[in-house]
Amino acid sequence: MITVDLPSPAALEAASSAFTFALVGIGLLIVGSAVAAATWARSLNGWALGSVSFVLSQTAQATLLLLGPLIAALASAPLQEASRAIILSTAARRVRGERPSAAFGFGHGAIDLLTSSLALTLSAVIILGGIRDGSIFAELSVEETDIMHAAAVFLSSQTLFSAALLVAQGALMLGLHALLTAIVLRAVVRGGGVRTVGRGLLLPIAIHTPVAVVRTLLPMATMPVLLGALLVAILVYRRGQGVMAESVPNQ
């Protein structure tokens, strides 16, 4: 019989509560994004199309995982912004204006949270449950038991504060996706051909890439990078509003 020196039951219980809090919080963000799209933005269809754009980008990115996590992380932002532009210029041609584009961004971000944060927190809750009752160690080899022990130590170190930080990060990601969608939409509406639209995507890709890379390779450092990207996206969005307003009288 393999024996394992696990963290204390109190530590495991606290970690389980923290991850449950994060699971519920992220789940509410996902549901809330759909509710906001259906009410404030009045475009649940836009939300659904935004979710499709994320799925398409991840389908393309999955093939790059064979080349390593760094390559996949670097490709994440270009693929997501290109997918956004393709859907906005084809299936989502009715998604125009501030509120519909926000709904699209919420849908894109919601599936992002579903496949990353929600999946991870759910896995953590399940693993901690198995560690607490010992069932997860049944029929494990010595090497697998060592890996699970390391996981138990790491998971038990997480606190309610780190769980709240993860939920806050999810909310900020939804905001970033909404802003990036608005910026990409302007490039699509401006038109001018594939090359012109492609050049218009360079800025949102530059904003999004640091976040995508850090979330993949250094997840603990995501929050400051995300805040910086969000600030830049807000400035670009507001500047774009001014440019669009100035261009109206000249049309």
Task: Provide the pLDDT for residue 4.
Answer: 61
pTM value surpassing 0.75: yes
Is the pLDDT at 243 greater than 60? The verdict is no
Helices and strands of the chain, counted as H and E runs: 9, 0
Which whole number is the average pLDDT over 75-83? Answer: 96
Q: Give the pLDDT mean for 43-53.
A: 95
Phi-psi region of 193 (alpha: psi -120 to 50; beta: other; left: phi over 0): left
**pLDDT digit string, tens, across residues 201-218:** 999 999 999 999 999 999
Q: Is the pLDDT of residue 242 over 70?
A: no
Closest of 77, 92, 86, 95 to residue 180, by C-alpha: 77
Closest CA to 16 of 159, 114, 112, 119: 159
**Where residue 241 falls among pLDDT bands split at 50, 70, 90?**
confident
Residues 6 or more apart whose CB falls under 8 angstroms from that of 70 comprise 213, 217
Rounded mean pLDDT of 152-173?
A: 94
Q: CA 165: distance to chain centroid?
A: 14
* Per-position DSSP letters for 111-144, written without gaps between them: HHHIIIIIHHHHHHHHHHHHHHHSGGGTT--HHH
Q: In sequence order, what are the residues at sequence separation of 6 or more whose Cβ sits closer than 8 angstroms to the Cβ of residue 200?
A: 184, 186, 187, 188, 190
The pLDDT of 22-48, averaged and rounded, is 95
SS3 content of the chain, % helix, strand, coil (to 5): 85, 0, 15
224 CB-near residues (< 8 Å, 6+ apart): none
Torsion of CA 216, 217, 218, 219, to 10 degrees: 20
